[in-house]
């Protein structure tokens, strides 16, 4: 005791500082989007360090790919980004087609655009709804899922599955669209279009939503590029890049003749600035609000693309064509292709050795790179900001852990 | 009732005890039943807001027995306690919350003279006892041995204690206008037409009502101020480790408090049990006479007050299912930078209004259209003595605090 009294009071004061606390957020946590585990170092409400731990959903998908033929691996690609399984199918199918130098017909091309963009809408709806959930509002989540259900109904009619479709496959698609499907799809788009305004009213322009997201988790343009971010995360930071426009010709050829504008802020303006809510004053380019808004714009962009592809698909008179055989021999060589999945650039790598089983299969996941910025963004934020930041990255654990 | 029992020859202390017991049991069951109804209502309302159906089958139609079924389920659930938890505090915490929430109902008047215990410091009592609820939450968070619970508890402590300040200021304004802390008298003074409600007394009270609404929502931890149990951040906040009936006690306390702050808003600002149109007065009935007509009028008043309070609760539910949650620093900013200064300015404004314009802008506008029970409303200063004045209505006993004329004896239920 006497020591304490004799000591310099400043030392005692220094000694009774509040302790830092290590908190595990996840893998069982309502807002870590699956089984992500974040280890937070907190001082009260302030997070000084965030460390993501992954691997809870690892299923050796890539290794399995080296033991089955490419078409047999299609169902495994469904389970990478299970919210955008069509886009995963498409990425893998295109990569294998690139290796085999196999092209698809016009009808299959437009069908793929149609399906992939429809799935992009569905994926962004989940991202949007779940983001509302992360910020503590439950209803937009269900409004988003209500519309997503209708897209899933359409998919179910086309391929029989609601989540893991295995529809787009090497050499085309497993089946043509059933009769009357296009009308239903158009009816859905007409019905869905005005609902986007409701989402904007509930979230994008909501004062509390803006307070929670604007200026939070600012990802600078340089940092986004350094960490290899892609998709809406990259575009939310103002980088004008979209693989549908800037990718390899094999992929961009799919979008030949389609008119779309990349959803990115240029000169302080977004495309469609006049029809959609203006950027709030508090928002900084690269913050959570911008990432969210880019996704909302991409929903509209995808709707446009779906409408265009419906017309083109309907104009094609030839049959869809058969996909490749299940055990088609692969040539010797390798191929890598990146496509623009809803979450970002999804790359697939395949090495063929003359048999029907690939020698190497690898996937480059956009969510993995996007997640890697969390520790930068979460430094010094509040605990409540952690779900807001992680949610705005819109990650899917199936894709990260593969 | 106590008088009646004394009349039967029972000793005074026994008569009082029996009367208090009956009042307590009645109150307790009414509030607990009300909480069940509100939990059911919240599920239905949330479902309707979200394009769902909510419970549909339990109890035949509309799932009206769902809350009861849940209650039975919770009773049957295993009672878990984390290994590192502080057993005594962990067990104690839900009851502290629950008692605080329910005790506050003692002083809440449901209709003229339908009150568990009329207190001359009723407002003070209700606000103070309701403030105790935070102890249960802090205890729960502290004793749970869970970091998430601790976060929830610290948030709750910071938030609720801060919001007590503007809430207190808001509550003081009607007290100042009425010149008494007796909730029954405050409501009495707003009888007559809707324009007599303190909400419409002057511009300052109108503004302060909305400040009160904000602070009340914050002090009962409802969205967008539900930080203590922020599910997307803190899993479930302070009640993360609770299960079974203990968890349901927290739930009952929350719904009880929601109803209480709404009812308090009704009494302080919305005329209490006085409807927008004084129907009873217009047809010549009085609630204070003690005959059967008076009971009927009180029943009307009861429906009025419960209707107003229910509306407040429904408003909170609507807000909860619409808005995102604020962040802790934003919650504190809202309190300290907006609510408190606004409440302070409005308090000062209402004070000066009362001083310079006691009769209102338009003469006769804010005067009761019917009879004025208390003559001192017309006093020159407008401010009567602060000691609880007796209600000089025929057939009603004097309003001494110890006089338990109340729910037990005169409840229309």
Per-residue pLDDT reduced to its tens digit, A278-291:
777 888 888 889 99
Minimal CA–CA distance to A330: which of A170, A129, A166?
A: A170
Q: How confident is the model at residue B399 (pLDDT cuts 50, 70, 90)?
A: very low
Minimal CA–CA distance to B185: which of B412, B36, B396?
A: B396
- H, E, C per residue of chain B: CHHHHHHCCCCHHHHHHHHHHHHHHHHHHHHHHHHHHHHHHHHHHHHHHCCCCCCCCCCCCCCCCHHHHHHHHHHHCCCCCCCCCCHHHHHHHHHHHHHHHHHHHHHCEEECCEECCCCCCHHHHHHHHHHCHHHHHHHHHHHCCCHHHHHHHHHHHHHHHHHHHHHHHHHHHHHHHHCCCCHHHHHHCCCCCHHHCHHHCCHHHHHHHHHHHHHHHHHCCCCCCCHHHCHHHHCCHHHCCCCHHHHHHHHHHHHHHHHHHHHHHHHHCCCCCCCCCCHHHHCCCCCCCCCHHHHHHHHHHHHHHHHHHHHHHHHHHHHHCCCCCCCHHHHHHHHHHHHHHHHHHHHHHHHHHHHHCCCCCCCCCCCCCCCCCCHHHHCCCCCCCCCCCCCCCCCCCCCCCCCCCCHHHHCCC
User: Quick check: pTM over 0.90?
Assistant: no
Tell me which residues of chain B have a C-beta less than 8 Å from any C-beta of chain A: 46, 49-52, 147-148, 151, 154-155, 223-224, 226-227, 230-235, 321-330
B289 pLDDT exceeds 80?
A: no
Residue with tokens 């314009």: B357
Percentages helix, strand, coil for chain A (3-state, rounded to 5) are 50, 10, 40
Cβ-nearest to A136 among B154, B325, B328: B325
Which range, A318-327, B125-134, B193-202, has the best average confidence (pLDDT)? B125-134
Q: How confident is the model at residue B46 (pLDDT cuts 50, 70, 90)?
A: confident
The 10s digit of each residue's pLDDT in A375-399 is 888 888 888 888 888 888 888 888 8
Q: How confident is the model at residue A349 (pLDDT cuts 50, 70, 90)?
A: very high
Angle (nearest 5°) at CA B251 between B330 and B268: 65
Specify the pLDDT at position B361.
59
Separation CA A305–CA A297 (nearest Å): 12
Specify the pLDDT at position A348.
92
Measuring CA to CA, how many Å separate B30 from each of A26, B2, B23, B252, B348? 41, 21, 10, 12, 38
Task: Provide CB contacts within 8 A for B107, sequence distance 6+.
Answer: B115, B116, B117, B118, B119, B122, B125, B126, B183
Contact B323 A211 (CB under 8 A): no
B371 pLDDT exceeds 60?
A: no
B35 pLDDT exceeds 70?
A: yes
Contact B324 A203 (CB under 8 A): yes
Specify the pLDDT at position B393.
39
B181 pLDDT exceeds 70?
A: yes
In chain A, what percentage of residues exceed pLDDT 70? 95
A216 pLDDT exceeds 80?
A: yes
Specify the pLDDT at position A14.
54
* Rg, chain A, Cα only: 23
Average pLDDT over residues A243-248: 85
DSSP H or E run through A338: strand A333-341
User: Each residue of A38-62: b (16+ CB within 10 Å) or e?
Assistant: bebebeebbbeebebebebbeeebb
Contact B51 A135 (CB under 8 A): no
> Touching check for A135 and chain B: CB below 8 Å?
yes
Contact A31 B329 (CB under 8 A): no
**Mean pLDDT in chain A?**
85
Task: Provide CB contacts within 8 A for B3, sequence distance 6+.
Answer: B15, B397
Q: How confident is the model at residue A124 (pLDDT cuts 50, 70, 90)?
A: very high
A3 pLDDT exceeds 60?
A: no
ipTM surpassing 0.90, yes or no?
no
Specify the pLDDT at position A17.
54
B131 pLDDT exceeds 50?
A: yes
Minimal CA–CA distance to B265: which of B206, B212, B197?
A: B212
Separation CA A134–CA A137 (nearest Å): 8
CA count, 13 A, side-chain hemisphere, A74: 23
A1 pLDDT exceeds 70?
A: no
Q: Which residue of A has its CA nearest to B240?
A: A29
A373 pLDDT exceeds 80?
A: yes
Which range, A71-75, B70-74, B79-83, B283-287, has the best average confidence (pLDDT)? A71-75
E strand intervals along A86-200:
168-169, 172-173
Cβ-nearest to B51 among A146, A203, A384: A146
Specify the pLDDT at position A105.
82
Contact B147 A23 (CB under 8 A): yes
Structure token digits, residue A217: 């988790």
Rounded to a whole number of angstroms, the distance from the CA of A139 to the nearest CA of chain B is 5
Contact A136 B51 (CB under 8 A): no
Task: Provide CB contacts within 8 A for A97, sequence distance 6+.
Answer: A103, A104, A170, A171, A250
Q: How confident is the model at residue A120 (pLDDT cuts 50, 70, 90)?
A: very high
Specify the pLDDT at position B187.
82
Angle (nearest 5°) at CA B260 between B257 and B264: 140
In chain B, what percentage of residues exceed pLDDT 70? 83
> What angle do helix axes A106-134 and A85-100 make, rounded to 10 degrees?
140
Separation CA A44–CA A383 (nearest Å): 9
A298 Rama sector, left if φ>0, alpha if ψ -120 to 50, beta otherwise: alpha
Contact A133 B46 (CB under 8 A): no
B382 Rama sector, left if φ>0, alpha if ψ -120 to 50, beta otherwise: left
In chain B, what percentage of residues exceed pLDDT 90? 0
Q: How confident is the model at residue B374 (pLDDT cuts 50, 70, 90)?
A: very low
Measuring CA to CA, how many Å separate B271 from each of A51, A133, A186, B305? 55, 38, 55, 9
The 10s digit of each residue's pLDDT in B218-238 is 888 887 888 777 777 777 778
**Mean pLDDT in chain B?**
77
> Touching check for A208 and chain B: CB below 8 Å?
yes
Average pLDDT over residues B248-274: 86
Specify the pLDDT at position B377.
42
Q: How confident is the model at residue B3 (pLDDT cuts 50, 70, 90)?
A: low
Contact B151 A383 (CB under 8 A): yes
- Residue A341 vs residue B13, higher pLDDT: A341
Question: Residue A63: helix, strand or coil by DSSP?
Answer: helix
Contact A212 B46 (CB under 8 A): no
B44 pLDDT exceeds 60?
A: yes
Fill in the DSSP letter of residue A254: G
Cβ–Cβ pairs < 8 A, chains A and B: 84
Least confident of A51-60, A185-194, A221-230, B380-389: B380-389
Cβ-nearest to B321 among A135, A139, A146: A139
Cβ-nearest to B324 among A45, A136, A383: A136
Contact A45, B328 (CB under 8 A): yes
Specify the pLDDT at position B407.
39
Contact A139 B49 (CB under 8 A): yes
Specify the pLDDT at position A20.
78
Separation CA B397–CA B113 (nearest Å): 10
Task: Provide CB contacts within 8 A for A63, sequence distance 6+.
Answer: none
């Amino acid at each position: 005791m006497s020591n304490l009294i004799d000591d310099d009071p400043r030392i005692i004061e220094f000694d009774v500082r509040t302790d830092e606390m290590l908190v595990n957020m996840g893998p069982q946590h309502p807002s870590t989007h699956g089984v992500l585990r974040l280890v937070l170092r907190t001082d009260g409400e302030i997070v000084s360090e965030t460390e993501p731990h992954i691997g809870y959903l690892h299923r050796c998908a890539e290794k399995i790919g080296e033991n089955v033929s490419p078409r047999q691996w299609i169902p495994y690609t469904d389970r990478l980004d299970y919210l955008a399984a069509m886009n995963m199918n498409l990425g893998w199918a295109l990569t294998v087609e690139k290796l085999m130098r196999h092209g698809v017909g016009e009808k299959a091309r437009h069908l793929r655009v149609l399906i992939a963009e429809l799935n992009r809408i569905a994926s962004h709806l989940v991202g949007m709804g779940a983001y509302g959930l992360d910020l503590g509002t439950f209803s937009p989540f269900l409004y988003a899922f209500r519309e997503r259900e209708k897209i899933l109904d359409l998919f179910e009619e086309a391929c029989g599955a609601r989540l893991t479709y295995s529809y787009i496959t090497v050499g085309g698609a497993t089946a043509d669209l059933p009769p009357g499907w296009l009308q239903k799809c158009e009816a859905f788009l007409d019905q869905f279009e005005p609902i986007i305004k409701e989402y904007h009213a509930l979230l994008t322009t909501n004062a509390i939503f803006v307070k929670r997201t604007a200026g939070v988790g600012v990802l600078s343009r340089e940092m986004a590029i350094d960490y290899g971010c892609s998709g809406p995360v990259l575009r939310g930071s103002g980088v004008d890049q979209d693989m549908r426009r800037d990718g390899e010709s094999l992929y961009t050829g799919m979008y030949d003749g389609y008119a779309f504008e990349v959803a990115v802020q240029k000169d302080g303006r977004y495309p469609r600035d006049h029809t959609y809510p203006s950027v709030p004053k508090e928002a900084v380019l690269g913050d959570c609000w911008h990432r969210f808004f880019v996704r909302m714009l991409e929903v509209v962009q995808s709707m446009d693309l779906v409408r265009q592809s419906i017309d083109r698909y309907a104009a094609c008179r030839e049959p869809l064509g058969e996909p490749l055989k299940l055990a088609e021999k692969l040539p010797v060589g390798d191929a890598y292709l990146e496509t623009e999945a809803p979450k970002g650039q999804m790359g697939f790598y395949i090495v063929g050795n003359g048999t029907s089983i690939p020698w190497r299969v690898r996937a480059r996941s956009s969510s993995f790179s996007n997640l890697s910025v969390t520790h930068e963004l979460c430094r010094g934020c509040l605990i409540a900001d952690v779900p807001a930041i992680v949610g705005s990255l819109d990650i899917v654990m199936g894709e990260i852990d593969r | 009732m106590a008088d009646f029992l004394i009349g039967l020859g029972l000793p005074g202390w026994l008569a009082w005890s029996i009367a208090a017991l009956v009042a307590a049991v009645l109150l307790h069951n009414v509030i607990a039943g009300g909480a069940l109804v509100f939990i059911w209502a919240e599920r239905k309302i949330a479902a309707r807001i979200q394009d769902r159906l909510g419970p549909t089958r339990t109890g035949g139609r509309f799932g009206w027995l769902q809350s009861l079924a849940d209650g039975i389920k919770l009773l049957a659930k295993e009672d878990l306690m984390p290994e590192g938890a502080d057993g005594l505090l962990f067990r104690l915490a839900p009851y502290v919350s629950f008692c605080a929430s329910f005790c506050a109902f003692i002083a809440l008047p449901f209709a003229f003279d339908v009150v568990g215990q009329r207190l001359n410091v009723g407002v003070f009592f209700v606000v103070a006892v309701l403030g105790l609820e935070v102890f249960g939450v802090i205890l729960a968070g502290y004793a749970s041995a869970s970091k998430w619970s601790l976060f929830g508890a610290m948030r709750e402590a910071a938030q609720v204690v801060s919001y007590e300040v503007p809430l207190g200021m808001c509550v003081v304004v009607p007290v100042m206008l009425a010149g008494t802390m007796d909730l029954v008298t405050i409501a009495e003074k707003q009888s007559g037409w809707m324009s007599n409600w303190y909400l419409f007394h002057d511009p300052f009270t109108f503004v302060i009502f909305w400040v009160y609404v904000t602070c009340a929502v914050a002090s009962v931890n409802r969205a967008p101020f539900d930080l203590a149990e922020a599910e997307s951040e803190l899993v479930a906040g302070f009640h993360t480790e609770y299960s079974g009936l203990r968890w349901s006690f927290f739930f009952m306390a929350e719904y009880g408090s929601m109803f209480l702050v709404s009812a308090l808003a009704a009494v302080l600002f919305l005329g209490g049990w006085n409807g927008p149109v004084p129907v009873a007065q217009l047809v010549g009935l009085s609630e204070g006479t003690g005959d059967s007509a008076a009971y009927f009028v009180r029943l009307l008043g009861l429906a009025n007050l419960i209707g107003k309070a229910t509306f407040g609760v429904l408003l909170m539910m609507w807000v909860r299912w619409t808005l995102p949650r604020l962040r802790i620093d934003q919650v504190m900013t809202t309190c300290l930078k907006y609510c408190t200064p606004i409440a302070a300015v409005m308090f000062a404004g209402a004070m000066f209004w009362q001083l310079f314009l006691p009769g209102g802008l338009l003469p006769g506008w804010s005067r009761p259209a019917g009879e004025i029970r208390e003559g001192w409303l017309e006093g020159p200063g407008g401010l009567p003595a602060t000691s609880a004045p007796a209600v000089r209505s025929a057939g009603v006993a004097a309003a001494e605090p110890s006089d338990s004329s109340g729910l037990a004896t005169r409840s229309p239920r």
